[in-house]
C-alpha cells in the first residue's frame, strides 16, 4: 500500500490537494481498496488533501475528504492506526458498528471486509507494515483487535511516541541514517503493540463480516469471558442473539463444533494456562480442574491428555 520506492530504505513523501471527487476516489481507493464507493457532496466545492511520509516499514499520513463517503474496504498487508481530527466516521465490521472519537486512536479492521461512513473527515494515520510488526513481535499470526480503544496507560504510551518522533520523521529535508530510521519505525510498532489489544487467536477463526459472523463472535466472546461460570447452550445462545438451535447450526457451519465442544475446549485451554503458570507447591491439578468446571478428575485428565498430549500433572511439573 505504500508508494513504490526505488530504494526501499529511503523515505518517500507526497502531498496532494484537490477538489475533484473522482481524482480523490482514485487516489484514496488505491491504498484503502474502496469498493463501490458512494459520494454525496456536503458543500458546493469538495475539498480533499493528503500528506504522507513513509518507507517500507511505516508511514505517517494525514488526510481530509470533505464529502459524505460510504464504501466497503479491506486492508491485508498493513496495520492502520487512525485517529480523527474532525468530522464524523462510523466503521462497521462483523455485525458491530463503532463511531470514531476525535483524538482517540484505534486500529482499523485487518484482513476482513468492513464498511465505512465518513462525513467531512480529517484523519491522522500510521501505517505499519504487517510483516515488520510480526517479525518484531515474533509471531507470524499476530494481529490487533479491531476498533478497541487503548487503556489510559496505552494511550499515554502511544501519544509519547507520536510526540517524540513525528516531527523528525516528517522532516524530509533532514536525511535520517538507516539505523535512526529503523529505530523510529520500531518505536511506533512497539508502542502500538503495547497500546492496543492484540486479537485473540480464537477470534481469527471466524472470518467474514455478515450478521451471522457477528453473532458467532459474540458467542465466542461470551464463552471466553464466562467459561469459569456454570453456563451452557441457552446462556451462550442468548448472549449471541440466537436461538439454541441457531447457535448449534452456526457453530457447526463455521467451526464444525457443538456448543459443548466450544465450551469444553475453552475450559481446557484455560486450565492448561493455569497449570503452566502455577507454582507447583501452591497449585494442585484438582483445584485447577474444579475452577474450570471439571468435576470428575479422571475424565478431566483423560480429555486433557487427548487434547494436549500430556497429563495435567506433567504440565504442572513442567512449570
Please give the full DSSP string across 109-177, using - where no structure is assigned.
P-SS-EEEEEEEEEEEEEEEEHHHHHHHHT-TT--BPTTPPPPHHHHHHHHHHHHHHHHHHH-TTSPPP
- Helix, strand, coil distribution of the chain in percent, nearest 5: 45, 25, 30
Task: Output the tens digit of pLDDT for each of the chain's 319 residues.
Answer: 333 333 345 899 999 999 999 999 999 988 888 888 999 999 999 999 999 999 999 999 999 999 999 999 999 999 999 999 999 999 998 778 999 999 999 999 998 889 999 999 999 999 999 999 999 888 888 889 889 888 888 899 999 999 999 999 999 999 999 999 999 999 999 999 989 988 766 655 666 656 787 888 889 889 988 999 999 999 999 999 999 999 999 999 888 899 999 999 999 988 988 888 766 667 889 999 999 999 899 999 999 999 889 999 988 876 5
- Comparing CA positions, the residue from 102, 115, 11 lying closest to residue 58 is 11
CATH superfamily, domain 201-318, is Homeodomain-like (1.10.10.60)
Residue with cell 513513509: 54
Kindly report the CATH number that applies to the domain delimited by 12-195. 2.60.120.10
Give 312's Cβ-side CA count (13 Å radius). 26
Asked whether the beta carbons of 316 and 310 are under 8 A apart, the reply is no
Hey, where are the domains in the chain? 12-195, 201-318
pTM for this prediction? 0.67
* CA 23/CA 36 separation, integer angstroms: 15
- Comparing CA positions, the residue from 67, 199, 79, 74 lying closest to residue 128 is 79
Asked whether the beta carbons of 315 and 272 are under 8 A apart, the reply is yes
Same fold yes or no, 12-195 and 201-318? no
Asked whether the beta carbons of 25 and 73 are under 8 A apart, the reply is no
* CA 157/CA 83 separation, integer angstroms: 15
Amino acid at each position: 500500500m505504500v508508494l513504490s520506492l526505488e530504494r526501499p530504505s529511503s523515505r518517500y513523501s507526497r502531498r496532494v490537494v484537490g477538489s475533484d471527487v473522482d481524482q480523490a476516489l482514485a487516489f484514496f481507493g488505491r491504498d484503502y481498496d474502496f469498493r463501490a464507493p458512494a459520494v454525496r457532496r456536503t458543500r458546493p466545492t469538495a475539498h480533499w488533501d493528503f500528506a504522507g511520509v513513509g518507507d517500507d516499514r511505516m508511514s505517517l499520513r494525514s488526510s481530509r475528504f470533505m464529502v459524505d463517503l460510504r464504501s466497503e474496504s479491506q486492508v491485508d498487508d498493513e496495520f492502520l492506526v487512525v485517529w480523527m481530527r474532525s468530522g464524523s466516521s462510523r466503521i462497521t465490521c462483523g455485525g458491530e458498528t463503532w463511531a470514531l472519537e476525535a483524538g482517540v486512536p484505534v486500529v482499523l479492521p485487518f484482513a476482513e471486509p468492513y464498511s465505512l461512513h465518513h462525513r467531512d473527515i480529517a484523519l491522522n494515520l500510521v501505517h505499519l507494515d504487517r510483516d515488520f510488526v510480526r517479525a518484531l513481535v515474533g509471531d507470524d499470526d499476530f494481529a490487533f483487535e479491531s476498533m478497541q480503544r487503548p487503556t489510559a496507560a496505552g494511550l499515554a504510551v502511544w501519544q509519547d511516541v507520536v510526540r517524540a518522533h513525528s516531527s523528525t520523521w516528517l522532516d524530509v529535508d533532514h536525511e535520517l541514517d538507516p539505523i535512526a530510521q529503523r529505530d523510529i519505525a520500531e518505536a511506533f510498532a512497539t508502542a502500538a503493540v503495547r497500546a492496543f489489544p492484540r486479537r485473540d487467536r480464537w477470534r481469527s477463526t471466524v472470518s467474514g463480516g455478515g450478521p451471522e459472523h457477528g453473532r458467532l463472535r459474540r458467542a465466542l466472546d461470551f464463552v471466553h469471558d464466562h467459561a469459569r461460570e456454570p453456563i451452557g447452550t441457552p446462556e451462550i445462545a442468548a448472549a449471541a442473539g440466537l436461538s439454541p438451535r441457531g447457535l448449534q447450526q452456526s457453530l457447526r457451519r463455521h467451526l464444525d463444533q457443538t456448543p459443548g465442544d466450544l465450551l469444553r475446549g475453552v475450559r481446557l485451554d484455560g486450565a492448561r494456562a493455569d497449570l503452566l503458570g502455577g507454582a507447583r507447591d501452591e497449585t494442585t491439578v484438582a483445584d485447577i480442574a474444579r475452577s474450570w468446571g471439571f468435576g470428575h478428575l479422571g475424565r478431566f485428565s483423560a480429555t486433557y491428555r487427548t487434547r494436549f498430549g500430556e497429563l495435567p500433572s506433567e504440565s504442572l511439573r513442567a512449570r
